[in-house]
Amino acid sequence: MQKSGGVDQGLLPPHSDFCFLNFCILHFAFCIHAFRVSDFDKTIVAPSLLAGDFSQLGEEARRVEAAGADWLHLDVMDGHFVDNISFGPAVVAAMRKAVKIPLDVHLMISRPDHYLPRFVEAGAHSVSVHLEAKHDVATTLKNIREAGCLAGLAINPATPLSATMDHLANIDILLVMTVNPGFGGQEFIASTMDKVADAARLRTENGWSYHIEVDGGIKSDTALLSRERGANVMVAGTSVFRAGDAAESIRKLR
């Protein structure tokens, strides 16, 4: 039986207008949908490269991947939206070559809509953009999904969850900042847990499908608190990259 692209063409309907290209497109769409409909009870650990040694980022990324990281979190800062500058698409592209785990790109930039195509091309698996940035949020989220990435919406500690209501049905990740964005090593803001709990409740009540990600001050005790409130993606920088045993730190975050 002839095969093309690893798919047995004998499975395609004979004597029909059903072409192989359409089969591939449908198969791809099914795979993306299957990934998005996830088990939100499973904890995903996403170490933030911002806390790594910038003199050897590739080695640092491979180190946490070997230690059991599920995703690699990449904090992109432009010096305008937040008062810090980190890295851009070139580093994302380099990390795509360095590791096999998904790249979770967090755009803390003023114009995520303008720069989005560059991060998609660089190999981002998911892209989170801020509600507070200067862009048409709905359009940007739509463009992220159409590019084949998971669409994430991030909110700062001062932003109420009610401000996201128009978008929750159309996202794959809700990123709740548990510190004020811009710098690592800050203290966890416990009051953000009310938003996490409300987001989990709304997801269940409305049949929505999104990960709840927390970012900032995440270590073993705050990860436990976040999980109890409904979060399932833990972004951890200092507590993983600067731990004596990264694998043990990741295990404790679960």
Give all domains of the chain, ordered by start, each with its CATH number.
39-253 (3.20.20.70)
Annotated catalytic residue, options 70, 75, 104, 172: 75
Mean of the per-residue pLDDT values of the chain? 88
The pLDDT score that the predictor gives to residue 165 is 98
Query: Please, are residues 220 and 160 in contact by the beta-carbon 8 Å criterion?
Result: no
Phi, psi of 87 (to 5 degrees): -155, 175
**Annotation says 8 is catalytic:** no
pLDDT digits (tens, 9 = 90+) for 194-219: 999 999 999 999 999 999 999 999 99
| Of 160, 232, 234, the residue nearest 195 (C-alpha) | 160
Annotated catalytic residue, options 78, 113, 172, 215: 215
**Annotation says 75 is catalytic:** yes
Residue 8 has pLDDT above 60, yes or no: no
Long-range contacts of 224-232 (CB under 8 A, 24+ apart): 225/190, 225/193, 226/178, 226/193, 226/196, 227/43, 229/193, 229/196, 229/197, 229/200, 230/196, 230/197, 230/199, 230/200, 230/201, 230/203, 231/176, 231/196, 231/200, 232/40, 232/41, 232/42, 232/43, 232/44
pLDDT digits (tens, 9 = 90+) for 115-163: 999 999 999 999 999 999 999 999 999 999 999 999 999 999 999 999 9
The pLDDT score that the predictor gives to residue 38 is 57
Question: What is the value of pTM for the model shown?
Answer: 0.84
More confident call, 195 vs 23:
195
The pLDDT score that the predictor gives to residue 16 is 41
- For 226-231, what is the mean pLDDT? 98
pLDDT digits (tens, 9 = 90+) for 150-200: 999 999 999 999 999 999 999 999 999 999 987 766 789 999 999 999 999
